[in-house]
Amino acid sequence: GQQLNQSPQSMFIQEGEDVSMNCTSSSIFNTWLWYKQDPGEGPVLLIALYKAGELTSNGRLTAQFGITRKDSFLNISASIPSDVGIYFCAGSYSGNTPLVFGKGTRLSVIA
Amino acid sequence: DTGVSQDPRHKITKRGQNVTFRCDPISEHNRLYWYRQTLGQGPEFLTYFQNEAQLEKSRLLSDRFSAERPKGSFSTLEIQRTEQGDSAMYLCASSRTPRRDRGNEQFFGPGTRLTVL
Residues of chain B neighbouring A102 (CB-CB closer than 8 A):
42
A63 within 8 A of A21, measured Cβ to Cβ: no
Mean pLDDT of B8-36: 97
Give percent of chain B with pLDDT exceeding 70.
Answer: 96
B83 to chain A, any CB pair closer than 8 A? The answer is no
What would the pLDDT profile of B100-110 be if each residue is shown by its tens digit? 666 679 999 99
Half-sphere exposure (Cβ direction) of B22: Cα atoms closer than 13 Å = 7
Separation of CA A53 from chain center: 15
Q: Cβ neighbours of residue B64 under 8 Å, at least 6 residues apart?
A: B79, B80, B81, B82, B83
Contact A1 B45 (CB under 8 A): yes
Residue B40: is its pLDDT beyond 70? yes
Lowest-confidence pick of A57-61, B29-33, B36-40, B56-60: B56-60
What would the pLDDT profile of B48-100 be if each residue is shown by its tens digit? 999 999 999 998 889 999 999 999 899 999 999 999 999 999 999 999 988 76
pLDDT band at A1 (very low <50, low <70, confident <90, very high): low
B30, B44, B99, B115: best to mutate for the A interface, most A CBs within 10 A: B44
Give percent of chain A with pLDDT exceeding 90.
Answer: 88
**CA pair distance B46, B58, nearest whole angstrom:** 5
Instruction: Please name the residue of chain A whose CA is at the shortest distance from the CA of residue B91.
Output: A42
**CA pair distance B33, B54, nearest whole angstrom:** 10
Contact B103 A50 (CB under 8 A): yes
Question: Position A64: which residue type?
Answer: Q
Give percent of chain A with pLDDT exceeding 70.
Answer: 97
B90 to chain A, any CB pair closer than 8 A? The answer is no
Per-residue HEC secondary structure of A65-100 comes to: ECCCCCEEEEEECCCCHHHCEEEEEEEECCCCCCCE
Residues of chain B neighbouring A41 (CB-CB closer than 8 A):
110-111
Q: What pLDDT does B57 receive? A: 93
Question: Position A59: which residue type?
Answer: G
Q: What pLDDT does B1 receive? A: 55
Peptide bond into A8 cis (omega under 30): yes
B24, B26, B45: best to mutate for the A interface, most A CBs within 10 A: B45
What would the pLDDT profile of A46-94 be if each residue is shown by its tens digit? 999 999 999 999 999 999 999 999 999 999 999 999 999 999 999 998 8
**CA pair distance B110, B9, nearest whole angstrom:** 7
B61 to chain A, any CB pair closer than 8 A? The answer is no
**CA pair distance A79, A85, nearest whole angstrom:** 12
